Amino acid sequence: MKRCIKNLFCLLSILLSLTACQPATPSLQLSGATMGTRYHITVVAYPSSFDTKQVQNSIDQLLEKINQQMSTYQNDAEISRFNRYRGNDWFPISNEFLYVISQAKKAYQVSHAAFDPSIYPLVNLWGFAQSSPIIPPSDQLINHALQHIGLQHLNIQTTPAALAKDDILLSLDLSAIAKGYAVDQVSALLSRYGLHNHLVEIGGEIHAQGNNSQQQAWHIAVEHPANLQQPHAPITGLYLHNQSLATSGNYRNFFEYQGKRYAHTLDPKTGKPTQHSLISVTVVHPSSLWADAMATAIMVMGAEKGLAFANQQKLAVFMVTSKDGKHYQSQANRLFNTYTQE
């Protein structure tokens, strides 16, 4: 599944200059570091009393709180403490963590375990979070890790919020859903400040609320996998109004060992990187959290199964496939095409 390292590369470019005859409404840019990547926010039509420093401080505090709850890179985070816990008793968690893991379990069930945040043992085994060269693990080690994977081993209690493990070695990785959640939360925070026209992006996950500076829907471009030397070269564009967009891809995120390429998207069923032709998938949904999770699930499934799944779930989806890494084919379902025209 996606890791934070994937999001160091923004898979989406934001087209803020549209050809329109209306005068542009003043906009403000906010940015900062979070979750191993950066956030970028555009606020449109803000009041004269707008306190930039106060709002940015609120955003930074919110994102730090989410990190303290869901980042496996922080040893004292809730998720890290839960992963280290070796017991079957109820482990208290925050209501925010409860919400995200409940949505993650729903995504796990809907996708028939293609989305599985309990793959943390595999992530560590493959070393995708490390900066050192990766050597593929043995089948024996992979099979051992697979024995401790599966959200059927996780029990969720709502009152009070708590988790319990059937398998004490179960551990979680929410990197394929936490950024989407963070985008949703930042958008909600801005709306509480009365800033109802804004665009929030964290590591490639986006929510577009209200209108852009031209009083039109936000125009978003999806990067073309073939143009790695030309950042933000688009393969398609779409218009979003009160919608979120998430992209998952392997074309930037892979390693090679003894002449073989290994993608960074792990299949929870095999314990190994995916081996199909799908290299990028983009999902549109009102919830950035859900778009994030579904993009990962479809990336695991592959193009044929993923498209059937998207249609069955009524998800707007755009896919890019390549069999040789040189020639590309794109495919969008009917629901996605409704967003390509303003």
Q: Is residue 148 in some structural domain?
A: yes
Residues 44, 190: one domain? yes
Give the model's pLDDT for residue 11.
41
The position carrying tokens 């106060």 is 54
69-115: per-residue pLDDT in tens?
999 999 999 999 999 999 999 999 999 999 999 999 999 999 999 99
Type and span of the H or E element at 62? helix 52-70
Give the model's pLDDT for residue 133.
56
Q: Dihedral, CA atoms, 86, 90, 95, 101, nearest 10 degrees?
A: 60
For residue 8, name the pLDDT band (cuts at 50, 70, 90).
very low
Last residue within a domain, chosen from 132, 165, 198: 165
Residues 326, 192: one domain? yes
* CA dist list (Å): 31 to 55, 69, 199: 12, 21, 12
Please compute the mean of the pLDDT values over residues 268-295 and round it to a whole number.
95
Q: Is residue 290 in some structural domain?
A: yes
Distance CA 272, CA 145 (A): 11
Please compute the mean of the pLDDT values over residues 221-241 and round it to a whole number.
75
Residues 156, 244: one domain? no
Q: Residue 144's domain spans which residues? A: 68-165
Distance CA 152, CA 144 (A): 17
Where does residue 121 rank: exposed (0-12), middle (13-18), buried (19+ CB within 10 A)?
buried
Listed in sequence order, the residues at least 6 apart from 105 whose beta carbon sits closer than 8 Å to its beta carbon are: 151, 154, 156
* φ and ψ at residue 154, rounded to 5 degrees: -110, 130
Residues 128, 36: one domain? no
CATH of the domain at 329: 3.10.520.10
Query: How many separate domains does the chain show?
Result: 2
283-323: per-residue pLDDT in tens?
999 999 999 999 999 999 999 999 999 999 999 999 999 88
Q: Is residue 80 in some structural domain?
A: yes
Supply the pTM of this predicted model.
Answer: 0.90
Residues 73, 44: one domain? no
Question: Both tokens of residue 312?
Answer: 């069955």
Question: Both tokens of residue 35?
Answer: 């979750």
Q: Is residue 60 in some structural domain?
A: no
Q: Dihedral, CA atoms, 112, 317, 220, 207, nearest 10 degrees?
A: -30
Residues 209, 267: one domain? yes
